[in-house]
Amino acid sequence: MPVLFDNVIDREKDYKTALPYDQIVTKAKFQKYYASTYNDEIIAMSLDRVKTNARCQELAKINEEINVVYDNIRPPVRLAFADVYKEIHNIDVLWKKVKQITARPTNCRISNTSYEKVRIDADALLKEINTYKMKDVQANPYLEEAVGIIGDFNKLKKVTD
């Protein structure tokens, strides 16, 4: 899935001190919960859903605009208030787009348990924190895709059962 500022943010692999990727060989034994044939189907369903998802397409477009801002070398700015102000506010339109897309709620419905509702109602600070977190989670497109993947898994499992 596309991630905002994808080409701008450093990843661990970009650091000099990053450890190389490797695997630990273990003798632990386990039985997979699902048949490995589900993996390819679930991945394909998720990729199709992401390709057609309007928000993912918007994120990709915004990333292109962000990359243009960060990749292009800008000319020096004359040290005058008007010029500095104009340079600082050059990306306001782009920033508004970023804020709009990250604040837009998904189709997932999130709610607290009855126990949490009682706890939250008794504490004003918890209520404020919960409101912020619920709004943030409600607008998370990655959570929406995770729910979609779980739904795909359940559908495939029912078909084979």
Report the C-alpha gap between 91 and 70 in whole angstroms: 11
Give 41-99 as a DSSP string: HHHHHHHHHHHH-HHHHHHHHHHHHHHHHHHSPPPP--SSHHHHHHHHGGGHHHHHHHH
> CB of 87 within 8 A of CB of 77?
yes
**Closest-CA residue to 160 (of 34, 32, 31):** 34
pTM of the model: 0.72
Q: How confident is the prediction along the chain (161 residues), in pLDDT tens digits per residue? A: 888 888 888 888 888 998 888 888 888 887 766 556 678 899 999 999 999 999 999 999 999 999 998 888 888 888 999 999 998 898 899 999 999 998 999 988 889 999 999 999 999 999 999 999 999 999 999 999 999 999 998 898 877 76
The size of the chain, in residues, is: 161
